[in-house]
Amino acid sequence: MGLLFSHRFLALLKKEFAQIRRDRRLAMSLIVPPTLQLLLFSLVLNATVSDLKLGIIDDSHTPESRSLTSTLTESKSFKLAGYYFDVNQLGDAISRGDLDAGVVIPKGYAKDLRRGRPVTVQFLLNAMNANTAAIAQGYAEGVVASYNADLPDEGIHADFRQIAANDVSRKGQAQLTSAYLYNPGLVGSWFVVTGIFGLLLILNGSMVAAVAMVKEREVGTIEQLLMSPAGTYEIIVAKMAPLFFVLFLMVLFATALIKIAFDIPFHGDILVLFAGAALCVLSGIGLGTVIATFTHSAYQAQLTSFFVFPLLTTVSGAITPAEAIPRWLQPLVVINPIHHFSVIARSSMIKGSGFEAIWPNFMVLFVFTLIMVSASVWRFRKQLS
Amino acid sequence: MRRILAQTRKEITQILRDKMALGLVLFLPLMQLILMGSAISLDIENLPIAVQDLDDTAASRQFIDAFRASDTFYVVSYPIDRQPESAFTSNLARAALIIPKHFGRDIARGVPAPVQMLIDASDSNTAKLIAGYAGEITRAWNASNGNGEVAPVEAAMRFWYNPGRSSKKFYGPGIFVLALSIFPPLLATLATAKEGEQKTILQVYVSSISAHEYLLGKILTFMLVAFCDCLILMTLLFTYFGLNFAGDPTPFIVSMVLYAFCVAAFGTLIGCAIPNQAAAMQAVAMGGFLLVFMLSGLIFPIQNIPIQIRWLSNFIWGRYFIDIVRDAFLQGGGWPATWWKVIIIGVIGVCFYMLAWRNMRRMQVKA
């Protein structure tokens, strides 16, 4: 450690900081695009399922059937898109995309209810999008359940109560009450924003680091650096320090933006978040440095990152839940820094987890950074010989 | 025509010589489709839930078994003396099922037995799915025990077009379009920008070839690349993703040709406009990847995009092709459902071509 703060190292550090300071474009490119990306991504990527377009076939034409359709459409989940007269018409509308779901209320609906016979209402869901279908099913069943519960105790429902009461051997029913913790309003953007945050740190960090490292080689000044008495470690660490500094400014900026634009709660200690962000930035820089040692020009570094980044993004759980990734890809999730930062950001900000709850994620980020930096030093040395 | 073909032959020779380009064409789209098609999914499986059984009777254990038996949940027993929230903050579980004392007694007596489900809603979509699945499991348990009253109205669900609700089948066609929107235009851009960078384009200017012939030669090459990709990826869709044509495949075939033209023209346009490989590549990454990835309804529905930026998606060529491919493989709506989308792809392609042509014409005069 004493070696790191030698005179030699400080000189290198000064040089790197001066270079960054003069490179206005780099500084700008570290602040402006990430901000825009954070805003745009988080606005655009939204999994909320609401206002599903519902088509109705009402063969019953009775007050009872109308009360069911109004219960269905007065919720925010479904929106009445039109009445249809036969199933083929309804099917065509679903296939054209005019409707997301359809309900068929049978002819004898009211009669059966009045007689105390259970009646089945058919829901047709466009299941092409599996997620929308699963959530729509949950909505529909919830609405029907609450409709059943709200059926007036006199009249229709009374028949059912009576039939049921006659059965002595009847057992009780489990009643499940769900409560949503931490995000009772179910705001979709909180999940995406925290994921995109990690994505930006890693992607921007590694891109900038790769370009900065490669630049020295492109211009040909790398020989001069290598000729200097500084060791490989010193050269690389000195290169990283100013990048880290600038990127951390981006972290502060992005955090403020998240707070202002998306109104995410900050339940946890902000220092935990910043510590995670710092490690995340470092692992991004480390990744970029490794990419740089494999390439000879900014163009090649870009081409390489073009293929590494989508892969990293997909198996990170930043945009889609990590639990949904199949088991054979889970090893990639475990070593993915984006995943660990997303977990840290979500736990700390939304759930208020302390360091003691999420230290394993910190450990992985730390080990990842260490491996990346060592690998880049090793590759760097190898290129010398 | 002969000149166009000669140009195409030259381009193909160049691609075949370049190992990296070959890898770009053959290997990467395949990898992308497998990885992204498998990894992108919102449907959860084996989600850890903490269970606190304060009752510990036969009935409560039976109820927990119903959760254990589902594919969605993975039951983690949790000591009853600890707050369930601590399982959430340390990410051990996504939900907690708490069965209070007297659950078994209430069931036996025939009175409603309340059960609490706490859900970590930091991921709101997953939270909704958890609530839905847990409700279904409870209803099924109640019904199978023959207890409880008969519900007056029962909802029967029919899932059309994708009855297994498989995410893979929904995202596979989208990623297929994404791959076609990235790799062929990327290659086209690199090939065209390279000529500008290395100034070999001057030789084209002094030759007798016209701007139309030059562009068509290039575009034809990268259309062939796109077809090649298409064949490889379709094989994967048919095998690994288990998809098949749901109806009339002709809209798909026609729009595939148009889309190949569209993306090849886009790549060539960028390559002509930006004679620098690194910068041009970034532009294609921006257009091909980001726009198609975000604004075309690939992962999340377009209706969820805020209205202020939603209009942008009307100009995104990938959006229409994604709709067509999904229709071809899942819905089978055929021409009546998709004809106008096919036309739009053609129109956007022609726009790209005209822009590229204008660009080339100007440059030829300048040089």
Whether residues B243 and B173 share a domain: the answer is: yes
Residues of A in contact with B139 (CB under 8 A): 141, 145
Phi and psi at residue A316, in whole multiples of 5°?
-110, -25
Amino acid symbol at A201? L
Whether residues A354 and A370 share a domain: the answer is: yes
In a domain, A119, yes or no: yes
Pairwise CA distance, residues B337 & B246, whole Å: 13
**Nearest in space to B119 (alpha carbons), one of B88, B84, B95, B153:** B95
**Nearest in space to B185 (alpha carbons), one of B261, B296, B95:** B261
Contact call for A357 and B117, based on CB within 8 A: no
In a domain, A80, yes or no: yes
| Burial annotation A348-383 (CB, 10 A radius, 16+ → b, else e) | bbbbbbeeebbeebbebbeebbeebbeebbeebeee
Whether residues B172 and B29 share a domain: the answer is: yes
In a domain, B134, yes or no: yes
What is the CATH number for A62?
Answer: 3.40.1710.10
- Spatial CB neighbours of A332, under 8 Å, sequence gap ≥ 6: A315
Instruction: Give whole-number Cα distances, A326 to A306, A317, A332, B43, in Å.
Output: 24, 12, 11, 10
Give the pLDDT score at A154.
Answer: 47
Give the pLDDT score at B260.
Answer: 94
At residue B264, does pLDDT exceed 90? yes
Q: How many CB atoms lie within 10 A of CB A201?
A: 30
Contact call for A144 and B155, based on CB within 8 A: yes
Residue reference for tokens 């519902």: A54
- The mean per-residue pLDDT over the stretch B251-276 comes to 91
Residue, of B279 and B236, whose pLDDT is higher: B236
Q: Quick one: which H or E segment has residue B78?
A: none
In a domain, B24, yes or no: yes
Give the pLDDT score at A203.
Answer: 85
- Residue A1 pLDDT grade (very low, low, confident, very high; cuts 50, 70, 90): very low
CB of A149 within 8 Å of a chain B CB? The answer is no
Phi and psi at residue B240, in whole multiples of 5°?
-65, -40
Whether residues A213 and A123 share a domain: the answer is: no
Whether residues A128 and A27 share a domain: the answer is: no
Give the pLDDT score at A100.
Answer: 87
- The mean per-residue pLDDT over the stretch B330-358 comes to 89
Q: Which domain holds residue B178?
A: 2-40+165-366
Residue, of A203 and A225, whose pLDDT is higher: A203
Instruction: Give whole-number Cα distances, A67 to A73, A74, A151, A153, A285, in Å.
Output: 10, 10, 10, 15, 60
Whether residues B199 and B282 share a domain: the answer is: yes
- Residue A223 pLDDT grade (very low, low, confident, very high; cuts 50, 70, 90): confident
In a domain, A164, yes or no: no
Instruction: Please tell me the total count of domains within chain A.
Output: 2
Q: What is the mean pLDDT of chain A?
A: 82
Whether residues A35 and A60 share a domain: the answer is: no
Return the number of CB contacts < 8 Å for A and B. Answer: 332
Pairwise CA distance, residues A355 & A360, whole Å: 9
Residue reference for tokens 């998606």: B313
Pairwise CA distance, residues A287 & A337, whole Å: 10
Instruction: Please tell me the total count of domains within chain B.
Output: 2
Whether residues B234 and B342 share a domain: the answer is: yes
Pairwise CA distance, residues A360 & A366, whole Å: 10
Which residue among A126, A329, A350 sits closest to B38, beta carbon to beta carbon? A329
- Provide the chain A residues 52-91 that lie in CB contact (below 8 A) with chain B: 68, 91
Whether residues B35 and B51 share a domain: the answer is: no
The three-class DSSP label of residue B113 is strand
Q: How many residues belong to chain B?
A: 367
- Spatial CB neighbours of B362, under 8 Å, sequence gap ≥ 6: none
Distance from CA of A371 to the nearest CA of B (A): 25
For A329, nearest residue in chain B (alpha carbons): B39
Q: What is the CB-side half-sphere exposure of residue A288 using CA atoms within 13 A?
A: 28
Residues of B in contact with A321 (CB under 8 A): 42, 44, 123, 125-126
What is the CATH number for B60?
Answer: 3.40.1710.10
Question: Among B83, B115, B144, where does a domain finish?
Answer: B144
Residues of B in contact with A126 (CB under 8 A): 160-161
**Nearest in space to B96 (alpha carbons), one of B43, B42, B53:** B53
Give the pLDDT score at A156.
Answer: 53
Distance from CA of A35 to the nearest CA of B (A): 16
Whether residues A126 and A212 share a domain: the answer is: no
CB of A118 within 8 Å of a chain B CB? The answer is yes
Residue reference for tokens 């822009």: B355
pLDDT per residue as tens digits for the range A246-268: 888 888 888 888 888 888 888 88
Whether residues B12 and B84 share a domain: the answer is: no
What long-range pairs does B34-38 form, CB within 8 A, spacing at least 24? B34/B236, B34/B240, B35/A311, B35/A314, B35/A315, B35/A329, B36/A310, B36/A314, B36/B171, B36/B175, B36/B178, B37/B168, B37/B171, B37/B172, B37/B175, B37/B240, B37/B241, B38/A325, B38/A326, B38/A328, B38/A329, B38/B168
Task: Tell how strand B113-120 and strand B95-99 pair up.
Answer: antiparallel
DSSP B143-200: HHTT-SPPPSEEEEEEEES-TT--HHHHHHHHHHHHHHHHHHHHHHHHHHHHHHHTTT
Whether residues B23 and B97 share a domain: the answer is: no
- The mean per-residue pLDDT over the stretch B197-218 comes to 83
Q: How many CB atoms lie within 10 A of CB A24?
A: 9
Q: Identify whether the C-beta of residue B340 lies closer than 8 Å to the C-beta of residue B184.
A: no
At residue B257, does pLDDT exceed 90? yes
Q: Identify whether the C-beta of residue B263 lies closer than 8 Å to the C-beta of residue B181.
A: yes
Whether residues A262 and A321 share a domain: the answer is: yes
- Spatial CB neighbours of A156, under 8 Å, sequence gap ≥ 6: A64, A113, A114, A116, B152
**Nearest in space to B47 (alpha carbons), one of B166, B128, B158:** B128
- Residue A95 pLDDT grade (very low, low, confident, very high; cuts 50, 70, 90): confident
Whether residues A108 and A233 share a domain: the answer is: no
- Provide the chain A residues 261-300 that lie in CB contact (below 8 A) with chain B: 297-299
Spacing of C-alpha A80 from chain mean position: 31
In a domain, B153, yes or no: no
- The mean per-residue pLDDT over the stretch B174-198 comes to 88
Q: Which domain holds residue A223?
A: 3-46+188-384
pLDDT per residue as tens digits for the range A275-323: 999 999 999 998 988 888 888 777 777 777 777 888 888 888 888 888 8
Whether residues B199 and B330 share a domain: the answer is: yes
Give the pLDDT score at B367.
Answer: 47
CB of A45 within 8 Å of a chain B CB? The answer is yes
Testing the interface with B: which of A95, A103, A135 to mutate, by most B Cβ within 10 A? A95
- The mean per-residue pLDDT over the stretch A63-88 comes to 86
In a domain, A287, yes or no: yes
**Nearest in space to B268 (alpha carbons), one of B220, B337, B316, B219:** B219
Q: List A121's β-bridge partners, or say none.
A: B155
Contact call for A358 and B115, based on CB within 8 A: no
DSSP secondary structure code for residue A179 in this structure: E
Q: What is the mean pLDDT of chain B?
A: 86
Task: Tell how strand A101-105 and strand A52-58 pair up.
Answer: parallel
**Strand arrangement, sheet containing B47-53:** A174-181, B113-120, B95-99, B47-53, B73-77
Residue, of A299 and A62, whose pLDDT is higher: A62
pLDDT per residue as tens digits for the range A323-363: 888 888 889 999 999 999 999 999 888 888 888 888 899 99
Which residue among A156, A171, A346 sits closest to B122, beta carbon to beta carbon? A346
- Spatial CB neighbours of B24, under 8 Å, sequence gap ≥ 6: B183, B186, B187
Amino acid symbol at A119? V
At residue A220, does pLDDT exceed 80? no
- The mean per-residue pLDDT over the stretch A91-98 comes to 82
Which residue among A96, A135, A329 sits closest to B337, beta carbon to beta carbon? A96
Return the top range by mean pLDDT from A215-219, B31-35, B206-210, B293-297: B31-35
Contact call for B165 and A307, based on CB within 8 A: no
Q: Choose the weakest-confidence range: A99-103, A250-254, B201-205.
A: B201-205
- As a whole-number percent, the residues of chain A with pLDDT over 70 amount to 92
Q: What is the CB-side half-sphere exposure of residue A98 using CA atoms within 13 A?
A: 15
pLDDT per residue as tens digits for the range A145-173: 888 877 765 455 555 555 555 555 566 67
Q: What is the CB-side half-sphere exposure of residue A89 using CA atoms within 13 A?
A: 10
For A180, nearest residue in chain B (alpha carbons): B119
Tell me the helices (H) and strands (E) count for chain B, helix number first.
15, 5
Whether residues B173 and B60 share a domain: the answer is: no
Contact call for A174 and B330, based on CB within 8 A: no
